[in-house]
Structures are given as structure tokens and as C-alpha cells.
Amino acid sequence: MNYTPHTEDDVKAMLSAIQVETVNKLFLPIPENLQLKRRLNLPVPLSEHELINLTQSLGMKNANYNRQDMLKFIGGGSYSHLIPSIVDVLSSRGEFATAYTPYQAEASQGTLQAIFEYQTMVCELTGMDVSNASHYDGAVALVEAIAVAISQTDKNLVLLSAALNPDYKRVIRTYLQNINIEIVELPYDEGSGQTTFSGETSRYAKDASCIVVQSPNYFGVIEDMDAVAEFSHRNGMLAISSSNPTTLAILKSPGEAGFDIATGDGQPFGIEPFLGGPTIGFIATKKELIRSVPGRIVGETVDADGKRAFVLTLQTREQHIRREKASSNICTNQSLLALRTAIYLSALGKEGFREVAEQCLLKTHYLKQRLIGKGINVKFTAPFFNELVVEFSNTSAEEIVSELLRNENILAGIALGKDYPSLANSLLITITEKVTKNEIDRLVDVLASAS
């Protein structure tokens, strides 16, 4: 049966209320030449059962990412990790899954406590003093951090590492393109893969509000964070990092390295890489910047009876109070995914979390050894974590990716030529703790044959 939202009498009553004779007259502001005068060319309606069958048949034409026999070595910012079952069980409870932080937030003590625990964990991981309640994703968190730096220094120049995730760079340019902010990219060293901040580009440093570096960067290379922070502060800039948070189990935190703001994407913490989202961005700062931190912050206090309680604190920073003077127009967060992050980290514990990071590191080093043994060139020389770039001599990486997906049912990684034309023959390969030794061996064998 057809779905008819309004009867003819309903339509007449509404038109009468706004003193319009016909529905067509509502569209008079649209130029005549843009109005469609015929019926839409649509197929006949389908029943629910027929529609399900149609969509399933269309879906069968796609390469199925979730097939158990498909090997996946793709990352570039979204990673497939093992997720303890307890994460799904607890986060799907109705009290959490349907919750929204209300405008009388203190009525939802459970939600606020979960967010407070998340903030505490982010501060511990990043070595920072203050974390907000989360952002939409890592790219947005990074943009918001840049906005903090611009407001703190009153400088309209931003230094970005060229080895920053290209998707992040696109988001940053989208945010900044119409507000008179200049962006200068710092090149990466073609040998090590690390960002260079000396030579010609260093002349911009005195006029820049911040330097933005990702570590590990898009090539999987670990940056010299101590040197970046020292260069930044020597030139009066704020130092902003973007991190794969799994690395923080074994590497020096941004806070320890001297960074002012730490950001990243929390997707590796209990969130599936489903079509690229949803995910969660984290941002943490030193205490001196707390008045400029964007988004919501949950604080701990005591109620009228002296019992522990949680509140939204320092709300005078936010746009619903400061309006156009606020540091950000974001006044919400990813509370359900913040909960998943907190459950994931709690379930693993410190030792389990460290083991995940160590497995990623060791398995990726095993991959490097096998690649070198087969005569395949590993592109960069600097230390890496769970991603590395391989370079083929006479074959484009896109051809390799297509061939392995079509013939071997392997997602071999990300071809870098689209975003880095000089790396058209280079492939970014990602390893997590889910990948087995046999799977790595198979990948290396087929890469050797294909190249």
C-alpha cells in the first residue's frame, strides 16, 4: 500500500492557513527553467521483501570486506583491532545507547561519570592536564587545536607537516580557507620519512601560531617529537600533535615530549572501522590552556550532602554562553564512543594495552624483514610502529592493489600516488595484533610475485 502522510483535506487546511491556493505556487521562487514539469522516471514500487532482495543482490556485487577469507592490510587512520566482547555488551545497554547529555546534565550522573573516566584516561595517555569530553573525530579535534593556537598567539599562519594524514589536511583547509589563515606545509625527508623543519620553511616559524605534526605520521614513521617541540617553543609557536593512541602504550607521550596540545582519533579503542565511521576525536592540553579548550568538560565535585558528583564545568567557554566570542561552536561530543573507549581500555588494563601495542610493533618489524628478504624495498629508514611504506620499481601501487584484491582476495594497503604523486609506486601497509604470521607470509609472497 502507498504511504500517504496527508489527506487532501489536510493539504487544503495547510494551504488555507498560509493563504496559498495550490501546492505548485509554493515553488514559484524557483526559476521556471529549473522546474521539472514531468513525473520522475522511477521504477514501480516494491514491497519490503522485494526491496530487501534487491539491495542484497546489489550488495553481493561488492567485494565483501567482512569475508573471513579476505586478508586486510589497510589502515591510514582507521584500524581493525580485536575488541573484547564486553565493549559491545556494556555500551549497548539502553541507559547508554539511547542517552544524550541533557541541558541539565547533572541529572545524568552515570553518563557524566563515564565521560569523566574517559577524560582521565586520555590525560594519562597523553601526559596532559586537561581533556574535553571528545570531538567528532581526529581531524576535527586537530582543527579545534589549531583554532586554540591561533587565538592564543594572535598569528594567522599555521605550519603543517606534509606527512600529515591527507584527509586531515583536507578538513583543516576546509575549516580555515575563508578566515584568512595561511597554511605552509613542512616537507618530509625523502630518506627518513620524518618532517623537516629547517632550511627555507624555517623562515616562517616566527610568524606561525603553531606547528602540527602527526606521529606516527601518514607513512607510519615515528617523528622526533622532542626536536619538534623544542623548535616550536624556540620560535614562539604552540606544538600540536596528532597521534595513533595505541602507540602511547609504549612511546613517550606528547606531554612528556613538551607538546602543548595533544590530539588524535580514538577509533582504535574499541570502535570498528565501519565505512570510516563513526569515530571519536580526543584533545588534551596543558592546564594553562584550559580556558581555551573547545567542547564540553566534565568535572568532579560534591553535592549538597557531601557525596561525590559530576558536573559540566567551565561552561563559560562554550558557545551557548559566550556566543560569537567562544573558542569553538562545538557544544556536543561523542559520549557513546567515549564510553566504548573507557570500557576498552579498562578491559585491557595497562598490561593488555601494552601487549596490543607490542604485537603491532613486532609483527610489523617481522613484515619488514620478510619484505627485505624478498628483495622488496621498504621506503623510509626512520623508526615505525604498525605501518610502513614499500616501493615497487616498475609497477604502480594502484595496479598492485587492484590485482591482489581481484585475484588473491587481499586488501594489500593504500596506494599513495593519489595524495603523493612522487610516491605513485609506493604502498602503505598496516599491521595490527589481529594479523597472523601466516597472513603476513602470504602477503609478502603475493607481493613478490606481483611486483
Paired sense of beta strands 157-161 and 210-214, if any: parallel
Q: Mean pLDDT, the chain, as a whole number?
A: 91
Query: pLDDT per residue over 187-241, tens digit each?
Result: 999 999 999 987 777 789 899 999 999 999 999 999 999 999 999 999 999 999 9
Averaged pLDDT, 135-156: 94
Query: pLDDT per residue over 417-428, tens digit each?
Result: 999 999 999 999
Q: What pLDDT is attached to residue 1?
A: 45
Element (H, E) at 305: none
Helix 335-373 and helix 437-450, axial crossing angle in degrees, nearest 10: 60
Query: pLDDT per residue over 379-398, tens digit each?
Result: 999 999 999 999 999 889 99
Cβ partners under 8 Å of residue 170, min gap 6: none
The whole-angstrom separation of Cα 411 and Cα 438 is 15
The whole-angstrom separation of Cα 201 and Cα 230 is 16
Averaged pLDDT, 280-308: 92
8 Å CB contact between 223 and 217: yes
168: three-class secondary structure by DSSP: helix
Q: Say if domain 71-82+350-450 classifies as CATH 3.90.1150.10.
A: yes
Q: What pLDDT is attached to residue 100?
A: 63
Q: What pLDDT is attached to residue 319?
A: 66
Q: Say if domain 85-343 classifies as CATH 3.40.50.970.
A: no
Averaged pLDDT, 263-271: 97
Q: What pLDDT is attached to residue 37?
A: 85
Q: What is the pTM of this model?
A: 0.84
Q: What pLDDT is attached to residue 64?
A: 62
> What values do phi and psi take at 76, rounded to 5?
70, 25
Least confident of 126-140, 289-303, 414-428: 289-303
Grid coordinates of 63 = 567485494
- Res 351 pLDDT > 90: yes
The whole-angstrom separation of Cα 184 and Cα 158 is 6
- Res 260 pLDDT > 60: yes
> What values do phi and psi take at 432, rounded to 5?
-125, 180
Q: What pLDDT is attached to residue 387?
A: 98
Taking alpha carbons only, the member of 195, 191, 228, 224 closest to residue 210 is 228
Query: pLDDT per residue over 58-100, tens digit each?
Result: 888 876 655 667 899 999 999 999 999 999 999 999 888 875 6
Helix 437-450 and helix 397-408, axial crossing angle in degrees, nearest 10: 120
Q: What pLDDT is attached to residue 241?
A: 98
Percent of the chain having pLDDT more than 70? 94
The whole-angstrom separation of Cα 282 and Cα 115 is 12
Delimit the domains of the chain by residue range. Answer: 71-82+350-450, 85-343
344: three-class secondary structure by DSSP: helix
8 Å CB contact between 122 and 284: yes
8 Å CB contact between 232 and 212: no
